Amino acid sequence: MRCYLKLGAAAGAVLALLPHAAWAQRASDNVTTQSNDAFGHSVGNEKSGLYTTDDVRGFNPVDAGNVRLEGLYFDQVDRVSSRLVDGSTIRVGPASQRYPFPAPTGLVDYSLTQPRAKPSYSLTLDSGSSFALGLGGSIEFKQPLGGERLGLSGGIGFRDAHRTEGGTSAARAIGATVAWRPAPGAELLLFAGDFRFRSDEARPTLFLTGIAGPPLLKRGEDLSQSWTGRNSDTWLWGAIGKVPLGSGLRIESGLFYTRRDLHTSFADLYTGVQSSGAASGHRIVADAGSIDASLSGETRLVRQWRSGSLSQQVTLSLRGRHKMRHFGGTASFQFGPSSLLANANIFKPAYTIGPKNRDRVDQLTYGLAWSLVSTRGFALDAGLSKTSYTKTIDFADPLQADPVTRDRPITWNVSASLALTTGLSLYAGASHGQEEALIAPDVAVNRSEAPPAIHTRQIEGGVKLALSPRLTLIAGAFSITKPYFNLDSASRYRQLGSLNNRGIELSLTGQLVPGFNVVGGLLLLDPRISGEAVSSGQIGPRPVGQVRRHGVLNFDWRPRAGKSPVSFDLAVESFSSRVGNSANTLSAAPRTVVNLGARYRFHMGPGTFLLRPLVQNLFDNYGWQVSTSGGWTYTAPRAFTVQVVADF
């Protein structure tokens, strides 16, 4: 801890030479006090809520293509540089209303880091998290350039870590945004960033046999191979423009290019794993030179007007993408029977990566959305879109047919809300959309192959109640239906039926008393597969990897009615058991994780400092994660971390 305090003080001495800033930046980040609901929110490195960017109501919104950047359509291919975005919000239920063209399985809405009228500078140093311990940090700035109209923001970040499951990883992030605001309501944002991984050896993934459950592995013991490092770069650059045209009319436009280069990548797979630790097979899949790139964007013409008690908005949208993937050509090595209880160092075999398959998607969508809000407590949203979708796969093998898929769906959404009394309202909605299906997992014989886009449907409804001016309760229900893809008996990834996720979700957020905030959420999910594969007994009726119950509870207490320099926080997250194989004969046990932390804010020279100790997984719960393809990996152990933030 002394080391971090000295580093923070040294940083303060250096940054004190910069122009004096007007307000703190990262020292004030607190996801519990900054969340409006419990459905999912991130601020900086902190997250809260039931859902994340890769799991909303049992589905992955990023892989489905349901992502927005500053409200505009963005086709995300991999992780966005943390130096480009301040955080994200999951938009489902009431949070998706007044939002043009919502998606049936929820949206991930990123907020771009932008310069403001006054400068600020931040330095962050930390010792990692329960998933990887080691030095990490960032330097960020927001700097006006000659007044309020022009500014520059950006930063660099790094992490050199020892991972929980053994092995090392090195991550680097860089990004910058230029903002030009020539007139009120008008702005042009230009940004670019890179996120890179180095080292990061492939973590062994277990595929179990029988019904006895997984072996008891010692966490932290390195079972990876030193030559299976992942080396990748993910670039993102783009532009956003917003211009008012007068008379309530404005134009908004965004163009984004993102690309992931997997220089080297490996999958380390143990199959037929028994509770004794013995495995009937051990396979490592090597890949290199895979590319996933997308040019995407949206242009909107928006008109707003007011007439008496009604406020209305009409949005005309054109959004699209051109996506290209290079995949396949992998090398696979079989090492025969093995044991997970002995760390066997395998000599790196010689291999050659074969020619790549090419996957191309061209999609163009025209849309019209209408929103009406009445001062009498009634609101209505509706949207209609027409999509032209073409997917072409060019296999490297000249003997394999190259499929072409075309789709011209009409998608729609409608939702409404009604205020019954002050603080009490009802909401309901229905939507039909088009989304991408998940790509084939590492264990599949058609690894990395992507099925054509699928059609999804959702209905939802609920109630929103203000328990006090600063405390809100939301209770809702939903039903989502989409095609179900997974591994068949020959380990080929394909459609096996239809999946219906029905659920109830609760959210309680706000301030209980001054200085005492809460974010609490509960998801009760009933996922069920139907179709020939279930009827014939090939697979069970429950999807692999999904939980039936997920609860979160975050408290943040800052004494003296929120004015004390010290605050304490508690986070509890609980999961039910989850299905562990396609036959539904295995389940990962329920688990509950408790995190306990504190914040101490103080001033030193021109800077505002934050010292944040945190104990993650306080009771050292040992649990298992299960992927949708049936791969098992153990959860992170207890870890004590320290973070120091300096704002100037």
pLDDT in tens, 169-206: 999 999 999 999 999 999 999 999 999 999 999 999 99
Q: How confident is the model at residue 406 (pLDDT cuts 50, 70, 90)?
A: very high
pLDDT in tens, 422-451: 999 999 999 999 999 889 999 999 999 989
- pLDDT reported for residue 1: 38
pLDDT in tens, 521-534: 999 999 999 999 99
In this structure, are residues 484 and 501 in contact, taking their beta carbons and an 8 Å threshold? Answer: no
Query: Sign of torsion, CA 142 145 146 147?
Result: negative
Mean pLDDT of 539-567: 96
In this structure, are residues 118 and 144 in contact, taking their beta carbons and an 8 Å threshold? Answer: yes
Mean pLDDT of 350-379: 96
Task: Specify the pairing of strand 107-112 against strand 46-48.
Answer: unpaired
Q: Which domains does the chain have, with CATH numbers?
A: 2-647 (2.40.170.20)
Q: Which two tokens stand for residue 490?
A: 């020959």
Q: Which residues lie below 8 Å from residue 218, measured CB to CB, with a gap of 6+? A: none
The percent of residues in the chain predicted with pLDDT above 70, rounded, is 96
What is the per-residue DSSP string for 361-376?
Answer: EEEEEEEEEEEEEETT
Computed over every residue of the chain, the mean pLDDT equals 92
- pLDDT reported for residue 210: 84
**3-state class (DSSP) for residue 40:** coil
- pLDDT reported for residue 3: 40
- Is the pLDDT at 9 greater than 80, yes or no? no
pLDDT in tens, 469-516: 999 999 999 999 999 999 988 899 999 999 999 999 999 999 999 999
- pLDDT reported for residue 38: 97
How far is the first Cα of the chain from the last one, in angstroms, to the nearest whole number? 21
- Is the pLDDT at 10 greater than 80, yes or no? no
pLDDT in tens, 98-128: 889 999 889 999 999 999 888 999 999 999 8
- pLDDT reported for residue 118: 87
- pLDDT reported for residue 7: 37
- Is the pLDDT at 213 greater than 80, yes or no? yes
- pLDDT reported for residue 341: 86
Cross-strand partners of 121: 141
Please give the model's pTM, rounded to 2 decimal places: 0.91
**3-state class (DSSP) for residue 200:** coil
Mean pLDDT of 395-413: 94
Burial of 219 (0-12, 13-18, 19+ CB in 10 A): middle
